[in-house]
Amino acid sequence: MRAAAATVAEDDLPRLPKGFLMSGRTSLTIVLAAGEGTRMRSSMPKVLHPVAGQSLLAHVLSAAPKGVGTALAVVIGPNHQAVDDEAKRYRPDAQTFVQQDRKGTAHAVLAARQALARGADDLIIAFGDTPLISATTFERLRAPLKQGATLAVLGFRAADPTGYGRLLVENGRLTAIREQADASPAERDVTLCNAGVMAFDGRTALSILEKIGHANSKGEYYLTDAVTIVRDLGLEAVVIETSEDEVRGINTKAQLAEAESVMQARLRKAAMEAGVTLIAPETVFLAADTTFGKDVTIEPFVVIGPGVSIADGAVIHSFSHIAQASIGKKASVGPYARLRPGTSLGEGARIGNFVETKAATLEAGVKVNHLSYVGDAHVGANANLGAGTITCNYDGFSKHKTEIGSNAFVGTNSSLVAPVKIGNGAYIGSGSVITRDVPDDAMAVERNQQNNREGGAVRYRELKTRGKTPKGG
C-alpha cells in the first residue's frame, strides 16, 4: 500500500525526473569489463582477480550508485559467463551486455545501448579494473551535471603519465583527451590524466556517443573523443580531480599487488577507527567484507579471507588464517589456527594452536586447544576436545558428519570415525578409535589391553648388545 502511494506522489509531479523524490537524479552506470586482460597472464578474466578477497569487478559494483532511481549495466566479453555470474552475485539488479568484438571503449559503452535507450538523468561510465574507486567520487563526478555541465571527466595527476589519456585544458575548460599513441611530444608532458570514469548528462549522452568515430592510430572507437564532440556542440565538459591511488587501473600482477596494498591500508585504518586493536596493523590482512564487534584484538600476522565476522571481545592470536567463519563473543583463536569455510564459534569458544576447523559449529564454551581437525561437525556447548582429536569425516568417497554432545570430553589422540554421535556428557578414553555412537554420559574406551613384562627392558638390551663392545666403553 505504501509503495503504491509513493508512486502516485511521483506521478503527481510529472515535470520532475523519475526518482527525484528519493535521490535527486536518476542514474545509469555502465561498467566496462570486456577486456581479457592479457597482461595478467592468467586464464581468468581480469576483472575476476581479487583484491582484499573480492573481485575487482565487485569493488567497482559496490562503489557504483545503488538504490532507488539507479540502474546498472556491465559490458562483458564473449564467453565470460563467470563475469556475468559475478556481476549478478554482487548486484542482482545488474543487466549484462556482451561486446562481441573489442573495438574500443566507446564501442563497449554502446553495447549497452538497450539500457542507454531507457534514459536516465546521469550516465556514468566506469571501468571494471579500477577497484579502489569510492562511492563519494561517483557523487562528486555527478555534481557538475546538476549545475548544467554535459560531461564530467575524472582526472588525476599521474606520477608517470605514460599510457594514460592526457586531459587538455584551456582557460579552465576541458577541450580534449589525447591518448598516448596520438599525443604530440608537448601533450605527452601533460601529467593531468584521464582516470577513465566519466559522467554524462543523460539527455545528450546517446547522441554524443553515436558521433564518435575511429580515426585514430589504433582505429578504435575512443570514449575519450566525447570531450571534443561536447566542446564542438558548444556544451561544457569539466574535470573533477582525485588522487592517483583511487583510480589505479589494474593491468598486471604487479599493479594488482599495489592495489592490494592500498586497499589493505584503508581496511586496517577503518578497522582501527571502528575500535579494533591491531598490534602490528601492517602484518594483518583483512577482507573487504570483514565485520568486527567492539573490543576485538588481532595480534600480528593474521590473514582474514572473505566472509568473516568477529564479535565483541574476541581475540585472534598470531599466525591464524580465517575464511568464511563467524567468531562469537569473547572467543579466542590461535596462535596458529586455521578456520576454514563454514566454521562458527560460539561465545567464549577457544581454538588453540595447530587446530583446523571446516564446516563445523562449535557452541559456546567449547575448547579445542591443540593439534586437532574438526570438520563436518557439530560440537555442543562446553565440550572439551583433547589434543590430537580428529574427526575422520572423509572415507575417500564422501563426507560424513560427527556430532559431539554438550559437556562431552574427548580424550587426547582420539579418532572419531564419522558418521558418529558422541552423547551429551560422554567421556572418550585417550587414543580411542570411535566407530559406534556413544550414549549420553557413557564412557567409551577403545584400546588394546596393556601388557607389562617384568624385566623385559633389561632382557631386550642384553639381546641387542650381546657380542658387541658397548659404545663409549
Q: Which is nearer to ligand UD1, 193 or 377 (CB)?
A: 193
Smallest gap from Cβ 206 to ligand UD1, in A, equals 18
Torsion angle in degrees (nearest 10) through CA of 130, 163, 73, 47: -50
75 near ligand UD1, rule: CB under 6 A: yes
Q: Measured between alpha carbons, how far is 439 from 425 in angstroms, rounded to an integer?
A: 9
Which of 28, 30, 33, 149 contacts ligand UD1 by CB under 6 A?
Answer: 33
Query: In Å, how far are 200, 227, 434 from 150, measured between CA atoms?
Result: 6, 9, 74
Chain-centroid distance, C-alpha 417: 35
Chain-centroid distance, C-alpha 45: 16
Q: Which is nearer to Ca ion, 24 or 249 (CB)?
A: 249
Query: In Å, how far are 41, 52, 251 from 37, measured between CA atoms?
Result: 8, 19, 6
Which of 29, 54, 96, 105 contacts ligand UD1 by CB under 6 A?
Answer: 105
- With cell 579552465, the residue in question is 172
Q: Measured between alpha carbons, how far is 222 from 435 in angstroms, rounded to an integer?
A: 68
Smallest gap from Cβ 421 to ligand UD1, in A, equals 53
Contact positions with Ca ion (CB under 5 A) in 96-155: none
Q: Which stretch binds ligand UD1 (CB under 6 A): 63-71, 189-197, 274-282, 322-330?
A: 189-197
Q: Which residue's C-beta sits nearest to ligand UD1? A: 165
Q: Which is nearer to ligand UD1, 163 or 275 (CB)?
A: 163
Cell numbers given for 15: 515535470
Question: Do 57 and 49 touch, CB atoms closer than 8 A?
Answer: no
429 near Ca ion, rule: CB under 5 A: no
Q: Which is nearer to ligand UD1, 190 or 303 (CB)?
A: 190
Which of 17, 27, 29, 35 contacts ligand UD1 by CB under 6 A?
Answer: 35
Q: Which residue's C-beta sits nearest to Ca ion? A: 249
Cell numbers given for 276: 579494533
Q: Which is nearer to ligand UD1, 127 or 285 (CB)?
A: 127
Task: Label residue 119 exposed, middle or buried (CB < 10 Å: 0-12, 13-18, 19+).
Answer: middle
The contacts of residue 253 (CB under 8 Å, 6+ apart) are: 40, 41
Q: Which is nearer to Ca ion, 260 or 299 (CB)?
A: 260
Q: Which stretch binds Ca ion (CB under 5 A): 141-149, 241-249, 260-268, 309-317?
A: 241-249
Catalytic site positions: 370
Residue 285 interacting entry, from Ca ion, ligand UD1, none, C-beta within 5 to 8 Å by type = none
String of contacts with ligand UD1 for each residue 236-265, x by CB under 6 A? -------------x----------------
Size of the site for ligand UD1 (CB under 6 A): 27
Smallest gap from Cβ 375 to ligand UD1, in A, equals 40
Q: Measured between alpha carbons, how far is 214 from 470 in angstroms, rounded to an integer?
A: 92
Residue 179 interacting entry, from ligand UD1, Ca ion, none, C-beta within 5 to 8 Å by type = ligand UD1
Question: What DSSP element (H or E) covers 138?
Answer: helix 135-146
Task: Label residue 167 exposed, middle or buried (CB < 10 Å: 0-12, 13-18, 19+).
Answer: buried
17 near ligand UD1, rule: CB under 6 A: no
Which of 28, 30, 32, 314 contacts ligand UD1 by CB under 6 A?
Answer: 32
Which of 91, 107, 317, 421 contacts ligand UD1 by CB under 6 A?
Answer: 107
249 near Ca ion, rule: CB under 5 A: yes
Q: Measured between alpha carbons, how far is 249 from 332 in angstroms, rounded to an integer?
A: 39
Residue 107 interacting entry, from Ca ion, ligand UD1, none, C-beta within 5 to 8 Å by type = ligand UD1
Q: Measured between alpha carbons, how far is 317 from 277 in angstroms, rounded to an integer?
A: 12
Q: Which is nearer to Ca ion, 193 or 333 (CB)?
A: 193
Query: In Å, how far are 178, 345, 424 from 359, measured between CA atoms?
Result: 54, 11, 21
Diameter of the chain measured on Cα atoms: 111
Smallest gap from Cβ 135 to Ca ion, in A, equals 22
Q: Which is nearer to Ca ion, 38 or 451 (CB)?
A: 38
Question: Do 379 and 360 touch, CB atoms closer than 8 A?
Answer: yes
Contact positions with ligand UD1 (CB under 6 A) in 195-224: 195-196, 222-224
- Which amino acid belongs to residue 61? L
342 near Ca ion, rule: CB under 5 A: no
Which of 104, 346, 352, 388 contacts ligand UD1 by CB under 6 A?
Answer: 104
Smallest gap from Cβ 259 to Ca ion, in A, equals 13
The contacts of residue 66 (CB under 8 Å, 6+ apart) are: 72, 91, 93
List interacting residues with Ca ion (CB under 5 A): 249
List interacting residues with ligand UD1 (CB under 6 A): 32-35, 75, 99, 102-105, 107-108, 127-129, 164-165, 177, 179, 193-196, 222-224, 249
